[in-house]
């Protein structure tokens, strides 16, 4: 739960899968391992899935996005990590959609800037300017 310790042990990974976001009715979603997550909003069901899934199902979506996974177990009560990561990416004008899951935080960034985003996050380990 110590932000400084988390930053100094920070590891991040990025797979090569292209992801997308869509808003649909629940009836439009089929069970698939390619669906990473859903979130119910007043306007509809937000779905995060692979672009392949959306294209196969004929679902309009936004993307492509890359998923960066913070490979350090973080407590759901840790204060400041999401803000720190988002601020570091914002400094480089990289949009970030952050999802805090139970074991890891995941950041979705435009696919074509994934390497730049990885570099930005890993630079946090070398600089104590934020802590």
Q: Where are the domains of the chain?
A: 3-126
Q: Which of 63, 102, 98 is nearest to 121 (CA)?
A: 98
Q: Residue 103: pLDDT band by 50, 70, 90 thresholds?
A: confident
Q: Residue 54: pLDDT band by 50, 70, 90 thresholds?
A: very high
| CATH top class, domain 3-126 | alpha beta
Relative to beta strand 12-14, strand 35-41 is unpaired
Q: What is the pTM of this model?
A: 0.86
Cα dist from 80 to 15, 40, 69, 87, 96, whole Å: 25, 25, 17, 10, 15
Q: Which of 2, 8, 1, 6 is nearest to 128 (CA)?
A: 8
Termini Cα distance of the chain: 14
């Amino acid at each position: 739960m110590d932000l400084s310790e988390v930053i100094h042990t920070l590891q991040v990974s990025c797979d090569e899968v292209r992801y997308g976001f869509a808003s649909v009715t629940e009836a439009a979603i089929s069970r698939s391992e390619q669906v990473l997550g859903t979130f119910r909003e007043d306007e509809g069901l937000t779905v995060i899935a692979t672009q392949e899934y959306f294209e196969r199902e004929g679902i309009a979506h936004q993307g492509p996005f890359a998923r960066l996974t913070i490979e350090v177990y973080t407590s759901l009560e840790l204060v400041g990590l999401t803000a720190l990561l988002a601020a570091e990416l914002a400094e480089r004008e990289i949009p970030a959609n952050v999802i805090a899951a139970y074991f890891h935080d995941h950041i979705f960034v435009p696919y074509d800037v994934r390497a730049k985003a990885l570099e930005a996050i890993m630079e946090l380990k070398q600089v104590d300017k934020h802590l």
